[in-house]
Amino acid sequence: MTRIETLAVHAGGEPDEGTGAVSPPIHMATTFRHGPAGERQAGFEYQRESNPTQDRLETALSAMEGGQAALCFGSGMAAMAAALESLPTGAHVLIPTDCYTGLRVLGAEFLPPRGITTTAADMSDLDAVRAALRPETRMIWAETPSNPRLCVADIAALADLAHGNDALLACDNTFATPVLQRPLALGADLVMHSTTKYIGGHSDVMGGALVFARRDAFHDAVFHRRHLTGGILAPFSAWLILRGCRSLPARMAWHCRNAMALARFLAGHDAVEAVHYPGLPTHPGHDIAARQMSDFGGMLSVRIKGGRDAALRVAGALELAINATSLGGPETLVEHRASIEGANAISPDNLLRVSVGLEHPDDLLADFGRALGAATA
């Protein structure tokens, strides 16, 4: 059992031993009976350390990503912070110029007091990455495709650069999901997910995960940190995210098909300045994406001619696509990133990020066509 569609349906899904229930039980217990000297019955003691429902999700995620172990958290940011804060004091981390805002803020505000520094480099430029490495660089953090410009980084090449510098390569695989891209197979040491997005898949559950290439000392350090700092995932959330895994490959195929259709449509529209979608042959990272991904994903961003006001008018004129942050749900979401990023926004002010949903593509194209026409008339 190695194909992703089959793993997604079955991994961590053994029918319940006691009842034969095909859908796994949600174990809400915070504490588990043990012997007088703490002898565990089935490996569990207290929910903050580990629990059976979360265990099933960890089994599924680790199987889909091809890792040796996974750890789930209450959000993607909790997962990201746990990984970065488990690095040794004095470590330097290279982060992407274009990346999830939360990573930049962690690097600017939360990591320096712990003795961990970050600097940014353009991860799609290997010379820039090489030049930005320092003797004390212990981790390269990649995000590909990245938020919000959909920049593509060559995971295998970054892994070589990291390992040549005695550093780990971590990859935020939230946009691609293990269905489209498996960084560990390309040489990465760690994969991070906001399972809030595609894996949960229904805009109704928050979670994060780390998947480790090896169950080694770094894994143990992150496990210990999670146990003691308490960023665990709630059992009901674990159950919902596990349910999301079952349909992930089928949903991703539909997301990719719709995104490609919308990207092509927008690229041909007069009111559009540029479309950032790795599936378009004009995208600078297209060849690398075609090599390391099985398809190009459901995220794109579009820059509207006429600047910030024109972009806001288009966003405001959409009727089917909902103005909201986040991504990976069934409904198409559109977001003016610069407004959401706030004071230190890095997104261009005419950029709209689109999480392309599961609607019929013709309805989506009609909505965007009408909004672009109305807002730019």
Ligand X SMILES: *Cc1c(COP(=O)(O)O)cnc(C)c1O
Q: What residues make contact with ligand X under the rule CB under 6 A?
A: 75-77, 100, 102, 143, 147, 172, 174-175, 194, 196-197, 206, 208
Is 48 catalytic? The answer is yes
Whose structure tokens read 């099985």? 294
Q: By C-beta, is 102 or 187 nearer to ligand X?
A: 102
Read out DSSP for 237-290?
HHHHHHHHHHHHHHHHHHHHHHHHHHHHHHHT-TTEEEEE-TTSTTSTTHHHHH
Selected catalytic residue, list 100, 226, 277, 353 = 100
Tokens of 330: 């069934």
Report CA-CA distances (Å) from 219 to 109, 165, 210, 213, 292: 25, 20, 9, 9, 25
- Torsional sign, CA 292, 296, 297, 300: positive
Nearest distance, CB of residue 117 and ligand X, angstroms = 20
Is 198 catalytic? The answer is no
Q: By C-beta, is 96 or 367 nearer to ligand X?
A: 96
Phi-psi region of 43 (alpha: psi -120 to 50; beta: other; left: phi over 0): left
Read out DSSP for 46-58?
BTTT--HHHHHHH
Q: By C-beta, is 169 or 372 nearer to ligand X?
A: 169
Is 308 catalytic? The answer is no
Nearest distance, CB of residue 146 and ligand X, angstroms = 8
Selected catalytic residue, list 55, 98, 154, 172 = 172
- Torsional sign, CA 286, 356, 313, 346: negative
- Torsional sign, CA 59, 63, 64, 67: positive
Selected catalytic residue, list 197, 226, 303, 353 = 197
Nearest distance, CB of residue 328 and ligand X, angstroms = 8
Q: By C-beta, is 77 or 242 nearer to ligand X?
A: 77
Is 246 catalytic? The answer is no
Q: By C-beta, is 53 or 75 nearer to ligand X?
A: 75
Report CA-CA distances (Å) from 332 to 164, 245, 326, 340, 368: 41, 20, 10, 17, 11
Nearest distance, CB of residue 374 and ligand X, angstroms = 29
Q: By C-beta, is 206 or 263 nearer to ligand X?
A: 206
Q: Name the residue number minimizing CB distance to ligand X.
A: 76
d(CA 361, CA 325): 21
Contact 43, 50 (CB under 8 A): yes
Q: By C-beta, is 137 or 147 nearer to ligand X?
A: 147
- 212: β partners: 69, 190
Nearest distance, CB of residue 56 and ligand X, angstroms = 20
**Burial (CB count <10 Å: 0-12, 13-18, 19+), residue 300:** buried
Closest listed residue to residue 174, CA positions, set 103, 225, 224: 103
Which residue numbers are catalytic? 48, 100, 172, 197
